[in-house]
């Protein structure tokens, strides 16, 4: 049983490091990564190369959605990992839900503060909201799934 706790903690630490490493990228590198995701996705869907003169227009159209979706996804996953850990400690109780959201919210706040020290990056309260929303959704889904599972088994 102790091995499961340790593995869960390791997964959480790895995921926190992944989030931290994305935040540690300077603005140019971060924007370039987002631009590549947009162009590669569109080219894959269309199955054709986008002309160079159209790329910036497409990037401008989708950049906010892609960047906020990345925030949401990273914290959606963090919410899953932290919820599973908390559930092992507290069971399926309100504490599990609340502690998961609080942990993810605090990490989102620290992540935004961290970005203040990275060249070209800023801290945005809206990003904290998006991050926490991702964790809130995954935690809500898991709470409902485990609650229904328990109801069906009784």
Q: What is the mean pLDDT of residues 37-43?
A: 91
105 contacts 29 by C-beta, under 8 angstroms:
no
Q: What is the mean pLDDT of residues 20-47?
A: 92
Structure confidence by residue, pLDDT tens digits, 52-79: 888 899 899 999 999 999 999 999 999 9
**Taking 80 as the threshold, does the pLDDT of residue 50 lie above it?**
yes
120 three-class SS: coil
- pLDDT score, position 1: 65
pTM equals 0.91
134 contacts 72 by C-beta, under 8 angstroms:
yes
Which residues have a Cβ under 8 Å from the Cβ of 108 and sit 6 or more positions away? 75, 127, 128, 131, 132, 135
Angle at which helices 125-153 and 94-115 pack, to 10 degrees?
160
25: left (phi over 0), alpha (psi -120 to 50) or beta: beta
Structure confidence by residue, pLDDT tens digits, 107-154: 999 999 999 999 999 999 999 999 999 999 999 999 999 999 988 987
List the structure tokens of 115.
Answer: 């970005």
Q: What ranges do the domains of the chain cover?
A: 2-27+68-153
- pLDDT score, position 153: 83
Q: Lowest-pLDDT range, 49-53, 98-102, 145-149? A: 49-53
Q: What is the mean pLDDT of residues 42-50?
A: 89
Strands in 6-143 per DSSP E: none
As a whole number, the mean pLDDT across the chain is 94
């Amino acid at each position: 049983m102790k091995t499961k706790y340790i593995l869960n903690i390791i997964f959480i630490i790895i995921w926190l490091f992944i989030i931290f490493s994305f935040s540690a990228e300077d603005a140019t590198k971060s924007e370039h990564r987002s631009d590549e995701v947009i162009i590669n996705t569109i080219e894959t869907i269309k199955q054709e190369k986008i002309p160079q003169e159209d790329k910036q227009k497409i990037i401008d159209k989708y950049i906010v959605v892609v960047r906020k979706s990345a925030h949401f996804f990273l914290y959606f996953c963090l919410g899953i990992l932290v919820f599973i850990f908390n559930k092992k400690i507290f069971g399926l109780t309100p504490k599990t839900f609340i502690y998961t959201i609080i942990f993810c919210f605090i990490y989102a706040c620290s992540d935004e503060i961290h970005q203040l020290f990275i060249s070209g990056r800023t801290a945005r309260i809206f990003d904290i909201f998006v991050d926490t929303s991702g964790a809130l959704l995954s935690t809500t889904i898991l709470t409902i799934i485990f609650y229904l599972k328990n109801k069906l088994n009784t």
